[in-house]
Amino acid sequence: MKTIQKSLICGLILCFLFIFNGPSLGAEKKPYKLGAIYSVTGGAALMGDPQKKTTEMLVDQINAAGGIDGHRLEVIIYDDESDDTKARLLTTKLMKTEEVLGLLGPCATGTSMAAVDIAQEYKCAMISMGASWMITTDPKTNKVRYWVFKIPLDDKGCVARIYEFLKYKGINKVATLTNTTAYGASGREALFAMAPDYGITILADEKFGPKDSDMTAQLTRIRVSGSQAIIGWTIGPTQTIIMRNWRDLGMTNIPFFQSFGFGNRKTIELAAGAAEGINTLVTPGSVSTLLPDTHVQKKVTMEYTLAYEKKYNDRVSIFGGSASDALRLFVDALKKVGEKHTSLEASRKAIRDHLENTKGFVGQHGVFNFSPQHHMGLTKDAYVMVVIKSGDFALAK
């Protein structure tokens, strides 16, 4: 009896072992793990929410189609609550503990700047969705950061486009209205640095905090300064408040340009009509329906727009577009080099190298051409200047 019991028990144990480890004895492939840090809550939630939704939608699409060469794609998404410190901690968590192959985000300038050192330390590629040129280039040494890439055209490029447009309209005296976050500060620096190149003088330099609820004082000072145009550089609810103040103070005869942080139709809604006549820069991806059929990005942008709007019953924005571009860039890298290496370090390096050499990649934001000197793959002509008309974007002339 005892021997039979013993062998029965051994048999059961073997069965359990087989059942629970059986699949790995087979040929199932290891999932590809990526990390993502988005500001789903907090001041930058307008960006983080569509980014999270886009990522989830694309991951589902990819896995439904069999994954990347049979490997399931897993993206761990964390919320940094628009807080730079949290972004830094979460980056460490993803790169050190979760051992991800690459990082999507963070989505804002401040949070991205907090993460760049971690990416360099853990030698893991990061594709930021923030604006500032300082994310990919160290301002102290003017050298490109080896492990950091970014999607959106940087603020320098956007400022150049806005100044080009102003020059074309014959405007050379402007006022700047920027917020005090890293995004606003970097934008302001770019505005000041590039003004002389376009013959522009800045007559008023106004600032406000990201949680301020009234900017009539700043706008009144701008009114006094005699500026011919106002350039606002901020994201979050303050974008809407400055437009409402602009309209409420009766200043609509002074052209108002908002930074590309505006690029979201929700902001137009919230402005309750105050956005009419405002100019801003958006990605071709946000106005896919306005693009001519011959436009190189037409197919890719229409695909994304239709899928996103159908699934979430919400219009696309430039923010979701960055998430789409970043994920597709990683997927492209994984397809080409994902199976070549077994160690984490080698995989991360291979992915980074592939990203750095990607050329002619058609995305929502433009056609990307990366190189060792350009970790932001777009030129200043990537974006489209629009004017808000009847509550929607229209191409500006």
Closest CA to 182 of 370, 325, 382, 43: 43
Between CA 234 and CA 91 the distance in angstroms is 25
Nearer to other proteins, 188 or 365 (CB): 188
Residue 342 touching other proteins (CB under 8 A): no
Strand, coil or helix: 354: helix
Between CA 352 and CA 330 the distance in angstroms is 9
Residue 391 touching other proteins (CB under 8 A): no
Residues 45-104 that bind other proteins (CB under 8 A): 45, 49
Contact 372, 382 (CB under 8 A): no
Residue range at the interface with other proteins (CB under 8 A); choices 92-100, 123-131, 218-226, 375-383: 218-226
Residue range at the interface with other proteins (CB under 8 A); choices 10-18, 148-156, 205-213, 367-375: 205-213
Nearer to other proteins, 218 or 324 (CB): 218
Nearer to other proteins, 49 or 356 (CB): 49
Residue 266 touching other proteins (CB under 8 A): yes
Tell the smallest beta-carbon distance from residue 271 to other proteins (Å).
9
Q: Which of 33, 223, 328, 365 binds other proteins (CB under 8 A)?
A: 223
Listing DSSP states for 121-153 in one string gives HHT--EEE----GGGTEETTTTEEPTTEEE-SP
Tell the smallest beta-carbon distance from residue 217 to other proteins (Å).
4
Residues 24-43 that bind other proteins (CB under 8 A): 40-42
Token code pair at residue 221: 């000072």
Residue 237 touching other proteins (CB under 8 A): yes
Instruction: Indicate the residue type of 95.
Output: M
Q: What are phi and psi of 121, to 5 degrees?
A: -70, -45
* Interaction pattern, residues 158-197, with other proteins; x per rule: CB under 8 A: ----------------------x-----------------
Tell the smallest beta-carbon distance from residue 253 to other proteins (Å).
9
Residue 220 touching other proteins (CB under 8 A): yes
Closest CA to 259 of 375, 167, 178: 178
Q: Which of 6, 30, 211, 359 binds other proteins (CB under 8 A)?
A: 211
Can you count the helices (H) and strands (E) in the chain? 12, 16
Instruction: Name the percent of the chain in helix, strand, coil, to the closest 5.
Output: 50, 20, 35
Q: Which of 60, 197, 214, 353 binds other proteins (CB under 8 A)?
A: 214
Token code pair at residue 211: 């949680």
Between CA 90 and CA 101 the distance in angstroms is 15
Q: Which of 10, 13, 193, 272 binds other proteins (CB under 8 A)?
A: 272
Residue 207 touching other proteins (CB under 8 A): yes
Between CA 378 and CA 6 the distance in angstroms is 69
Tell the smallest beta-carbon distance from residue 59 to other proteins (Å).
22
Measured from the Cβ of residue 303, the count of other Cβ atoms closer than 10 Å reads 13
Q: Which of 26, 170, 250, 292 binds other proteins (CB under 8 A)?
A: 250
Closest CA to 39 of 100, 121, 104, 94: 104
Q: Which of 217, 296, 394, 395 binds other proteins (CB under 8 A)?
A: 217
Size of the site for other proteins (CB under 8 A): 34
Residue 296 touching other proteins (CB under 8 A): no
Between CA 61 and CA 332 the distance in angstroms is 15
Tell the smallest beta-carbon distance from residue 175 to other proteins (Å).
12
Burial of 219 (0-12, 13-18, 19+ CB in 10 A): buried
Residue 230 touching other proteins (CB under 8 A): no
Residue 213 touching other proteins (CB under 8 A): yes
Residues that bind other proteins (CB under 8 A): 40-42, 45, 49, 180, 206-209, 211, 213-218, 220-221, 223-224, 226, 236-237, 240-241, 244, 247-250, 266, 270, 272
